[in-house]
Each structure stands twice: as structure tokens, then as C-alpha cells.
């Protein structure tokens, strides 16, 4: 079993399927009366360099549902890598708690925490990837279609950390992944090469477009994200000039499959990357997707912390 949950590529297709099956099971148990308190006495430290609604609440409630507890640590309290070295933070926390979740800017900070801490470390988001989001995304698609194999997933927008992890889990699970993004906003070449290698083994098809209308043809899932992520505020004006052709509106949704679904990791800048009519329309799954963060996170902490 893995000690940590840092990146989708670290896990095999079978291991990811086990996490998805566990998330389905735990969600059903919760809806039918509650989960067993298997993490009683366990505490998850939650390190935040970036603010969050879904990550903080979903991990906190995941621990509570399973009988454990969560401890929020704000940016000012730790100063990860500035006030105190990452190595020292990791070795201090391992004496207090049974697991660490970190939502950071630099991916290297997550890697260092995992290297130095003897307890499990979970990547709650880094500039390089967002594996917890990808697992919740896969759960949402799985619930809608009953499978991931052969599902056509199209991401429209910036080739950011969310897009990278969505591409990786698509490739792992045999879903077909397409992305349409403007020039100069591609996903990192190294991540694409790794995903292509994975796809060769799973039968997944990866496609890369500039034109969103081409990309969404035959789409079962149309996914978008904010044009400007945290830490990119100085680029906002330029991004708002470049990205309007990539707005997910009713016309674009109509060009996918008739029963396609629309997803967004939130927070959404409404009427920028997607319109109100799409966000609140019949194709939207953005709120069930957000709620599935809880159940996907629950599967992660259950797997990593139960024996910690």
C-alpha cells in the first residue's frame, strides 16, 4: 500500500478503481445512516498556503464522518519553507498527528513533506497537480455513466494543474481525454509525455486542440476551470483578453453528445469560463462534483490513515 497520495500517476488503474469503489461504498453507507468510526483517535493536520472552501470542508468532514478529527493550520501559523523548513514541519507534525494534508503553491513542498514525514501525506493541491480533485471528478463521471473506460472527456481552458490530473486519471482509467486551450497555455510537456505512455497501456486516446468546437465533438464530459488561478493575478488582464473563445456556453455544450455533462472544479467565475445558463442548467454536474470531494477524500483518508 502507498504511504502517500501525491499524484495520480503514482497509482495503478486497479488501485484507483479500488479507491473509487471505496468512495462509492462510503458514500452509500453515509447516506444510509453513517460511516463506521474507523479513524477514531486519528487526526489529520491540514496545511494551507492557499485559501479553500471545498478542500478544507471536505477533508474536515471526511475525518469527522469516519470518527477522526482535523486540525486547520493557516499560512500565517506555519510559514511553510519560510518561517520554518519543510523538513522540520514534517518531523514536528509526525509526533502530533497521524496524517498531513497540504494545499500549497510549490509541488516540491508536498514532495519534501512526504520525504521527511513518517506519516501519510496527501497533496490537497499544488501548482503541478490536483489529484484529490481528479479522484472526485472520476467518481462523478463514474456515477453518471457507470464506467470510465471509453468515456470522452474534453477539457476547455488553461492547461493547469487540474487539467493535468484530469488527463492523468483519464489515461489511467482508459477514458479518452481532449483539451482545447490557447497557444502559450498548454499543459507541461513532461506531464503530457507521461500521460501518453500511460495511455498506450490503457487504450486511452489523448487529443490536443486549439479550437474548442473541434474538441467537444462527441464529448460525454465538458470540463472547464477558471482562466486565472491563485498566484497568477498579475496575468489576469491578459488572460481575460485571450480566453473568451473558450467560454463554455449553451452553444458549445450543444456541440457535444446530447446527454453530455458539464463539470467545473470551482470556484467559478460565472460568465467568464462558463455561463450562468450552463452552470445552472440540466447538463451541469458542478455541485454533485463538489459534493463528491467529500466522498473521494473519505476514501483517501480511510486507505492511508486506517492503519497509521
Phi and psi at 179, nearest 5°, equal: -135, 140
Is-catalytic flag, 225? yes
Catalytic annotation, pick one of 239, 293, 295, 297: 293
| Contact predicate 207/273, CB 8 Å | no
The question of whether 293 is a catalytic residue gets the answer yes
Cα 217 to Cα 146, 195, 278: the distances in Å are 21, 22, 17
CA angle 129, 290, 38 (to 5 degrees): 85
Catalytic residue among 133, 272, 289, 297: 133
End-to-end CA distance of the chain: 12
* Contact by Cβ (8 Å): 285, 291: no
> Is 17 marked active-site?
no
* Exposure b/e, 212-223, CB count within 10 A at least 16 = b: beebbeebbbbb
Residue 285 known to be catalytic: no
Q: What are phi and psi of 127, to 5 degrees?
A: -65, -20
Is 200 catalytic? The answer is: no
**Whether 190 contacts 219, CB under 8 Å:** no
Q: Which of 54, 103, 109, 239 is catalytic?
A: 103
Beta-carbon contacts of 278 under 8 Å, excluding residues fewer than 6 positions away, are 248, 249, 250, 253, 262, 284
- Choice among 4, 65, 239, 265 that is catalytic: 265
Question: CA 85 → CA 75, 79, 91, 92, 220, distances in Å?
Answer: 14, 9, 10, 11, 45
Question: Catalytic: 241?
Answer: no
* Contact assessment for residue 23 and residue 296, using Cβ atoms and an 8 Å cutoff: yes
Closest CA to 22 of 45, 38, 6: 38
Query: Looking at 4, 60, 158, 225, which residue is catalytic?
Result: 225
Q: In this structure, what C-alpha cell is assigned to residue 199?
A: 495511455
Among residues 109, 130, 264, 295, which one is catalytic? 130
Active site residues: 103, 130, 133, 225, 265, 293
Amino acid at each position: 500500500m502507498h504511504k502517500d497520495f501525491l499524484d495520480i500517476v503514482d497509482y495503478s488503474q486497479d488501485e484507483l478503481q479500488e479507491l473509487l469503489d471505496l468512495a462509492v461504498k462510503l458514500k452509500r453507507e453515509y447516506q444510509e445512516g453513517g460511516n463506521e468510526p474507523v479513524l477514531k483517535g486519528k487526526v489529520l493536520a491540514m496545511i494551507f498556503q492557499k485559501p479553500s472552501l471545498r478542500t478544507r470542508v471536505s477533508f474536515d468532514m471526511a475525518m469527522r464522518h469516519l470518527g477522526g478529527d482535523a486540525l486547520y493550520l493557516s499560512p500565517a501559523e506555519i510559514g511553510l519553507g519560510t518561517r520554518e523548513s519543510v523538513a522540520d514541519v514534517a518531523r514536528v507534525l509526525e509526533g502530533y498527528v497521524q496524517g498531513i494534508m497540504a494545499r500549497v503553491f510549490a509541488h516540491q513542498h508536498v514532495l519534501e513533506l512526504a520525504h521527511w514525514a513518517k506519516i501519510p501525506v496527501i497533496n490537497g493541491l499544488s501548482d503541478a497537480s490536483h489529484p484529490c480533485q481528479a479522484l472526485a471528478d472520476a467518481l462523478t463521471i463514474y456515477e453518471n455513466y457507470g464506467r470510465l473506460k471509453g468515456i470522452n472527456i474534453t477539457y476547455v481552458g488553461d492547461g493547469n494543474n487540474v487539467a493535468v490530473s484530469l488527463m492523468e486519471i483519464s489515461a489511467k482509467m482508459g477514458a479518452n481525454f481532449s483539451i482545447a486551450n490557447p497557444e502559450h497555455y498548454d499543459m507541461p510537456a513532461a506531464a503530457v509525455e507521461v500521460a501518453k505512455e500511460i495511455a498506450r497501456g490503457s487504450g486511452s486516446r489523448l487529443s490536443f486542440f486549439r479550437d474548442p468546437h473541434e474538441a467537444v465533438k462527441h464529448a460525454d464530459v465538458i470540463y472547464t476551470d477558471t482562466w486565472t488561478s491563485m498566484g497568477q493575478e498579475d496575468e489576469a488582464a491578459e488572460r481575460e483578453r485571450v480566453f473568451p473563445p473558450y467560454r463554455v456556453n449553451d452553444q458549445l455544450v450543444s456541440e457535444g453528445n446530447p446527454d453530455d455533462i458539464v463539470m467545473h472544479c470551482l470556484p467559478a467565475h460565472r460568465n467568464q469560463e462558463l455561463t450562468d445558463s450552463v452552470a445552472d442548467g440540466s447538463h451541469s454536474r458542478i455541485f454533485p462534483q463538489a459534493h463528491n470531494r467529500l466522498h473521494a477524500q473519505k476514501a483517501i483518508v480511510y486507505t492511508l490513515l486506517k492503519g497509521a
